[in-house]
Chains A and B, each alone.
Chain A
Amino acid sequence: MDNSVLLKVNLLKKTFVKKTGTLLKRKKTDVFAVNNVNFEIRKGEILGIIGESGCGKTTTARMVMRLMKETSGEVWFDGVDLCNLKESETNKIRKKMQMIFQDPYDTLNPGMRVVDILMEPLNAHEKNLEYQEKVKLVKEAIESIELKPAEDYMYRYPHQLSGGQRQRIAIARAVILKPSFIAADEPTSMLDVSVRAGILNLLLELRKKMGLTMMFITHDLSTASYMCDRIAVMYQGRIVEIGPTQKIIHAPSHPYTKALVSVVKDLNYFIKNRERLIFDGEVDATREAVGCPFVTRCPHQESVCHSKSPKIESLGNSHEVACHCHEDLLERTS
């Protein structure tokens, strides 16, 4: 494996079993949440994963963070395959990879004070430290997330903090151990628009200061374009397009990415004369598509799309897409 790659996900797959029917006519249906996902994150890079609800973004993150067992596949972190580790070894790895969760109202224990919350990672991984040293580290962590003075916030309970402050505390909890990798699962989606930018800038600054590598999950393309070096677009458990942010936004190749880009207002400000593509309805993840997973909604479908699942192909400049028709589409637009 290339030395500059921190995290490599190889053919990762997760299927859930859904039981339906009555006692005698029990049926089991597989739900394909994540389907053969591959990607790499280089050191110091932020990879954005975007996609609609239920496309498997969070499931992927949970598998990478070892909160959920994969059905098959490999997750290589820093040269170690996480999927074959024992529980105790996984816990050691967790010192180096931390997660920021979506809902700051849910991830902080309401019965614990901020100090106790931030001390939890230290108690788990730095057992030899004295209490006073831990308090000092906690103070530093609180100041590094721009809640000053730290003493004002240390002894508060989560319900005495605002949503933005809570998310900052959650971020502090993730960075207090100085990890090398952070998975952020829609860290701003539950926050007011007014505090979002603050949180995003904080993450960027922490990345600069600590050399963090990040996996940034979001459903908002404008957030992703602000944060990420590269973006992977997921649809129905597969990555349909992956590439540098500028490429994804200015030259999307997959029809789904095109549709996503076309409806984001902030982006349209820069890109003129773009027609808006809107798809209706929900998708059914229970069927494993024979052809392209996007075929039910795709405006450009051809016969091959129904019968053959597209392979991911390189377009150069580490821009890759999984679509049979991307060349035709390119011609059509130009």
Chain B
Amino acid sequence: MDKQKWKHYWRVLSSNNLGLFGVALLVIFLCIALFAPFIAPFDPTERVGSPFMKPNGVFLLGTNDIGQDIFSELLYGTRVSLLIGVIAALISIILGCLIGVIAGYFGGKVDSFLMRLVDLVLVIPFLPLMILLAAFIGPSFWNIVLVISLISWASPARVIRSQVLTLKTKGYVEAARSIGTGIGVILTRHILPGVIPIALSQFVLAASHSILIEASLSFLGLGDPFTKSWGTILYYAQARGAFLTDAWIWWVLPPGLLLTTLVIGFAFTGYSLEEILNPRLRKER
């Protein structure tokens, strides 16, 4: 029975080219991240060549200012970018869901209080706060995750709240109440499933956002300078003047393209996931 369900999901997913493409992209990135040590020709933290080498047969994308292989750096960078993106997005979505559902379902004073809190977080100028926080609590992997999720839970919370407000008035919620179903069950069986498609699309947005924020924080030198992420690669490229020479083609462009591709992968996956979780969007196939 449950097996059938999963088969059905797979059918929906595989009949959607865009979704399949997105999932394929994510799977490729996941593989790169998981198997980076096996694919990468060199250890990205070791000096393996002379500095500022152009791409050649041994160093596919040349070397950086201290002679590390850029191609290996990129492969290892996937790990950090993907991990930060997913973890930060997950935290902010869980927080946003919790606050949105509570505010929307219970309404009244709880709602007003929580929504004013959301307003507060939303109106704070985003980049300065981020820089301040990152500078204040210091650069490390978990601090960056913390900073990103602290900032990005507010807008999902608001979107989810509005969805809960419409769900709350649905007949089946009232029917469940008249049956005598407990509030916990109503929230998890009737409200949450209706929220999940929205939460997922918000997750995708948040994940791509988080990846970009991580890259920009690192690019500004506020990330951990010793972890290899796409952002830090760009940071060193900028600091060593790669933007002004021919080196941008193999030093700046590849991390940029990878960032874009990863974000696109998330977006496409999001669309097809939404279709799976909302049966009414499904076409009869």
Q: Which residues of A contact B (CB under 8 A)?
A: 65, 67, 90-92, 94-95, 98-99, 101, 103, 106-112, 120-121, 123-125, 155, 157, 159, 170, 173
Contacts and interface: CB of A to CB of B under 8 A. Distances in A.
Given A110-B279, A155-B1, A121 B174 contact: no
B177 interface: yes
Contacts of A112: 189
Given A94-B180, A109-B189, 10 more contacts: A65-B178, A67-B178, A90-B180, A91-B180, A91-B182, A99-B175, A110-B280, A121-B179, A123-B181, A157-B279
Contacts of A107: 171-172, 174-175
B124 interface: no
Q: Interface centre among B175, B177, B181, by most A CB within 10 Å?
A: B175
Contact of A173 (B177, B179, B280): B179
Contacts of B190: 109
B193 interface: yes
Nearest to A102: B171
Nearest to A116: B189
Interface of B: 1, 170-172, 174-182, 185, 189-190, 193-194, 277-280
B185 A101 contact: no
16 contacts: A67-B177, A90-B180, A91-B182, A94-B178, A107-B172, A107-B175, A109-B190, A109-B193, A110-B279, A110-B280, A111-B193, A120-B176, A120-B189, A123-B185, A157-B279, A170-B175
Given A110-B279, A111-B194, A124 B181 contact: yes
Contacts of B180: 90-92, 94-95, 121, 124-125
B179 A124 contact: yes
Contacts of B280: 110, 159
Given A109-B172, A111-B194, A98 B178 contact: yes
Contacts, number: 64
Nearest to B175: A107
A170 B176 CA distance: 11
Majority secondary structure, B binding face: helix
A106 B179 contact: no
A100 to B, nearest CB: 9
Given A123-B185, A124-B185, A159-B280, A108 B178 contact: no
B205 to A, nearest CB: 22
B2 to A, nearest CB: 11
B144 to A, nearest CB: 36
A123 B180 CA distance: 10
A124 B193 CA distance: 19
Contacts of B181: 120-121, 123-124
A139 to B, nearest CB: 14
A16 B228 CA distance: 63
A98 B179 contact: yes
Contacts of A108: 172, 175
Contacts of A111: 193-194, 277-279
A106 B171 contact: yes
B178 A106 contact: no
Contacts of A92: 180
A108 B280 CA distance: 13
Contact of B279 (A106, A120, A123, A159): A159
Nearest to A88: B182
Nearest to A99: B178
B188 to A, nearest CB: 12
A94 B179 contact: yes
Nearest to B277: A111
B102 to A, nearest CB: 18
A106 B172 contact: yes
A170 B229 CA distance: 55
Given A110-B280, A111-B193, A159-B279, A101 B177 contact: no
A246 B280 CA distance: 46
B132 to A, nearest CB: 37
Q: Interface centre among A108, A120, A173, by most B CB within 10 Å?
A: A120
Nearest to B197: A111
Contacts of B279: 110-111, 157, 159
Contacts of A155: 1
A121 B175 CA distance: 10
A170 B175 CA distance: 9
Contacts of B177: 67
A109 B170 CA distance: 9
Given A106-B170, A159-B279, A124 B175 contact: no
Contacts of B194: 111
A285 to B, nearest CB: 21
A155 B4 CA distance: 11
A260 to B, nearest CB: 28
A91 B181 CA distance: 8
Given A110-B280, A124-B185, A159-B280, A101 B174 contact: yes
Closest 6 CB pairs of A and B: A94-B180, A106-B171, A107-B171, A109-B172, A91-B180, A99-B178
A1 to B, nearest CB: 24
B284 to A, nearest CB: 10
B66 to A, nearest CB: 55
Nearest to B183: A87
Given A155-B1, A159-B279, A159-B280, A103 B171 contact: yes
Nearest to A96: B180
Contacts of A109: 170, 172, 189-190, 193
A92 B280 CA distance: 34
A276 B179 CA distance: 42
A103 B171 CA distance: 8
A109 B172 CA distance: 6
